[in-house]
Amino acid sequence: MHTSKASFWVAHPVGRALLGLAGVVAFVAIWKLAQVTGWARAGTIPDPFRLPQTLLDEWRSERLLPAILSSLVHYVWGLGLGTLLGFLVGALAASSRWTDALHAWLARILRPIPPLAWVVFAIAWFKVSHAGAAFVIAIGVFWVNYFATWSAVRNVDPKYYELAQAFGQQGHLNRALNVTLPASAPGILAGMRTGIGQAWMTLIAAELLGVPGMGQEMNAAAGVGAYEAVVIYMLVISLVYTLSDTLFARFEKRVLQWRPS
Amino acid sequence: MAPILKIEQLSFHYGDNPAPVFANLDLSVEKGEFVAVVGGSGVGKSTLLKCVADLAHSSSGRITLDIPERHASRRRATVFQDGRLLPWRRLRGNIAYGLKGLNLSKTDQQARIDEVLALTRLTELADRWPHQLSGGQAQRAGIARALAVHPDLLLMDEPFSAVDAITRQHLQDELLNIWQKTGAAVLFITHDIEEAVYLADRVVVLSGSPARVQLDQPVELARPRGRNAEDLQQLAHAIAQEL
């Protein structure tokens, strides 16, 4: 009896959902308690119960949707360019000893530089624009994808190339498309997925340079002490990230359906 | 008639290591002949096969293949010890992989694939991913892929060493069946002398350091052979003495 109860909560989907919900409720309760009992200094902590109203206000004042859309513009551009270039450079660097040696020092010098350090040049080259924010996002995403692709391609099991050779499958392009790419796809896609998260991390910071978007709205709200609005933007960011990650995970699963699950 | 494969004075050593794995090796395989090469580990059996498959380069000596180029076929095909299917292609796709570049029409390609699937009794499994196959099935798939290219010489590198004993016996019988149907010559590497005697027309023993051909023994036992027949066991025993 005891064990069947326990297994309901941890094994049954309804039980797990209820437990998950309980975790959220407990968190909000502690949060509310902190606010009403004055654990946190008054005015520095948002009221969780006012969040629904704030969400409605932000929506009605026509700030929320434009901010999301604006963020998405440089998010998509930054993510897209960073992913594409990271993949191309990583694949190229890993595919010959010449290119590998040629780029090794350069990568070692540039890779540790945090993407946000490039904000200075983003402003200098692109002014305060989508392009500037996209540039900063792209740099972070680039390195994630570059490294994932580089190591995935380097780690393709040589036995598959031997097989290609044994069956007369010659030519760089043939091998790249039929062996290297599918063999390294799991690593490359894992990198792309990490990049999707990385892009969100950089996004908000990149917008602090004044490009319209959720980061800027957050900053503006914080400036006038509207902490509930800040939380709304935080939650929206969480939601959009979860959506994009879920979509990509589905795509990944489809592409990699050959792997044992 | 010239042998389909002629190996003359072949030597091989790894990289900077001056001691050859095998040296001055002579071996030939006639058209349609089944030759097994046996030897302990480290005598370079697999390396010898890789040299013939053009996957490794001998240090000296000569390998001559007397196989004319025929339309839509590869002269030799290799079956690897681990089956070596591409995990991202279904079984059917793995067989098709070896056919790329042979300029077969879509219909001919399908016909080839169906033919070898039937021959290896894998038709039902054609749409499975490699990880959904058992070790024996994966090995048969490797054989199917090799047969699909209609090779004149089949190179097999301990193809049954990783499967259980019962599956191995089934696969051996299937291989004999397929070999008799296709008429391809087979160069079969194994460390199992009984397997060699059961399958082959001729058993070549490699041993020593550097390895040399210690014995080149015709197996003149009528087919089908009995695994436990006394003459087969006696011959296996005699060959084992040479190792």
Q: What is the ipTM of this complex?
A: 0.93
Q: For residues B97 and B126, what is the distance between their CA atoms, to the nearest angstrom?
A: 14
Residue B72 per-residue DSSP state: T
Q: Is the Cβ of A178 closer than 8 Å to some Cβ of chain B?
A: yes
The predicted pLDDT at position A7 comes to 81
The band of A11, judged by pLDDT with boundaries at 50, 70 and 90, is confident
Same domain, A35 and A119: no
Q: For residues B32 and B134, what is the distance between their CA atoms, to the nearest angstrom?
A: 30
The predicted pLDDT at position A207 comes to 84
The predicted pLDDT at position A9 comes to 83
Same domain, A20 and A56: no
- Partners of residue B190 on adjacent β-strands: B38
Q: For residues B85 and A56, what is the distance between their CA atoms, to the nearest angstrom?
A: 57
Q: Is the Cβ of A98 closer than 8 Å to some Cβ of chain B?
A: no
Greatest alpha-carbon pair distance for chain B in Å reads 52
Domain residue extents for chain B: 5-67+152-240, 86-150
Q: Is the Cβ of B127 closer than 8 Å to some Cβ of chain A?
A: no
Q: Which of A17-31, A116-130, B33-47, B91-105 has the lowest mean pLDDT?
A: A116-130
Same domain, A39 and A71: no
* Span A195-215, pLDDT tens digits: 999 998 888 888 877 889 998
Cα distances from A99 to residues A91, A179, B34, in angstroms, run 10, 20, 46
Homologous superfamily of domain range B5-67+152-240: P-loop containing nucleotide triphosphate hydrolases (3.40.50.300)
Same domain, A132 and A181: yes
Same domain, A35 and A141: no
* Span B136-145, pLDDT tens digits: 999 999 999 9
Is residue A224 within 8 A of residue A46, CB to CB? The reply is: no
- B136: closest CA among B173, B162, B114, B98? B162
Is residue A116 within 8 A of residue A203, CB to CB? The reply is: no
Question: b/e per residue, A19-28, with b = 16+ CB within 10 A?
Answer: eeeeeeeeee
* Span B60-83, pLDDT tens digits: 999 999 988 888 889 999 999 989
- Answer yes or no: do A182 and B88 touch at CB < 8 A: yes
Q: Is residue A5 predicted with pLDDT exceeding 70? A: no
* Span B163-215, pLDDT tens digits: 889 989 999 999 999 999 999 999 999 999 999 999 999 999 999 889 999 99
Q: Is residue A2 predicted with pLDDT exceeding 60? A: no
Phi/psi for B203 (5° steps) reads -115, 125
- The mean per-residue pLDDT over the stretch B14-40 comes to 93
- Give the helix/strand (H/E) hosting B205: strand B202-207
For residues B8, B13, B14, B16, the Cα torsion angle rounded to the nearest 10 degrees is -140
Say if A168 falls within a structural domain.
yes
Same domain, A36 and A59: no
What is the percent of chain B with per-residue pLDDT over 70, rounded to a whole number?
Answer: 100
Same domain, A67 and A34: no
3-state SS of chain A?
CHHHHHHHHHHCHHHHHHHHHHHHHHHHHHHHHHHHCCCCCCCCCCCHHHHHHHHHHHHHCCCHHHHHHHHHHHHHHHHHHHHHHHHHHHHHHHHCHHHHHHHHHHHHHHCCCCHHHHHHHHHHHHCCCHHHHHHHHHHHHHHHHHHHHHHHHHCCCHHHHHHHHHCCCCCHHHHHHHHHHHHHHHHHHHHHHHHHHHHHHHHHHHHCCCCCCHHHHHHHHHHCCCHHHHHHHHHHHHHHHHHHHHHHHHHHHHHCCCCCC
Residue B174: other Cβ atoms inside 10 A: 16
Say if A251 falls within a structural domain.
yes
Q: How far is A42 from chain B (nearest CA, A)?
A: 59
Same domain, A172 and A248: yes
- Partners of residue A221 on adjacent β-strands: none
Burial degree of B196 (CB within 10 A; 0-12, 13-18, 19+): buried
The predicted pLDDT at position B142 comes to 96
Say if A183 falls within a structural domain.
yes
The predicted pLDDT at position A1 comes to 47
Of A169, A179, A259, Cβ closest to residue B101: A169
Same domain, A59 and A24: no
Say if A260 falls within a structural domain.
no
Structure tokens at B51: 């040299």
Which residues does chain B have within 8 Å of residue A160's beta carbon, measured at their own beta carbons? 84, 86
- Are β-strands B5-12 and B185-190 bridged in parallel, bridged antiparallel, or unpaired? unpaired
Same domain, A132 and A150: yes
Contacts of A209 (CB under 8 A, 6+ apart): A119, A122, A123, A128, A132, A133, A136
Segments forming the whole domain that contains residue A125: 52-255
Rounded to the nearest integer, the mean pLDDT of chain B is 93
Which residues does chain B have within 8 Å of residue A185's beta carbon, measured at their own beta carbons? 88
Identify the residue among A163, A259, A261 best suited for mutation to test binding to B, counting B beta carbons within 10 A and taking the highest.
Answer: A163
Structure tokens at A199: 């892009």
Return the higher-pLDDT residue of B116 and B18: B116
Say if A56 falls within a structural domain.
yes
Of A167, A170, A260, Cβ closest to residue B98: A167
Residue found by looking up tokens 């390294």 in the block? A184
The predicted pLDDT at position B27 comes to 95
Residues 191-210, chain B, touching A (beta carbon < 8 A): none
Q: Could you tell me the strand order of the sheet in which B153-157 lies?
A: B76-79, B153-157, B185-190, B34-38, B202-207, B212-218
- Are β-strands B5-12 and B60-65 bridged in parallel, bridged antiparallel, or unpaired? antiparallel
Same domain, A32 and A64: no
Residues 35-94, chain B, touching A (beta carbon < 8 A): 53-55, 74, 77-78, 80, 82, 84, 86-90
Task: Provide the H-helix boundaries in chain B.
Answer: 45-52, 91-99, 106-119, 135-148, 165-182, 193-199, 230-240
Q: How far is A165 from chain B (nearest CA, A)?
A: 7
Phi/psi for A192 (5° steps) reads -60, -40
Q: For residues A125 and A120, what is the distance between their CA atoms, to the nearest angstrom?
A: 9
The predicted pLDDT at position A205 comes to 82
Identify the residue among A167, A255, A261 best suited for mutation to test binding to B, counting B beta carbons within 10 A and taking the highest.
Answer: A167
* Span A38-74, pLDDT tens digits: 888 878 889 999 999 999 999 999 999 999 999 999 9
Q: Domains in chain A: how many in total?
A: 2
Same domain, A14 and A95: no
The predicted pLDDT at position A228 comes to 93
- Answer yes or no: do A163 and B84 touch at CB < 8 A: yes
Contacts of A183 (CB under 8 A, 6+ apart): A156, A157, A160, B88
Find out whether the peptide bond into B87 is cis, omega within 30 degrees of 0: no
Is residue A88 within 8 A of residue A144, CB to CB? The reply is: no
Please provide the DSSP assignment of B100-124 as one string: TTS---HHHHHHHHHHHHHHTT-GG
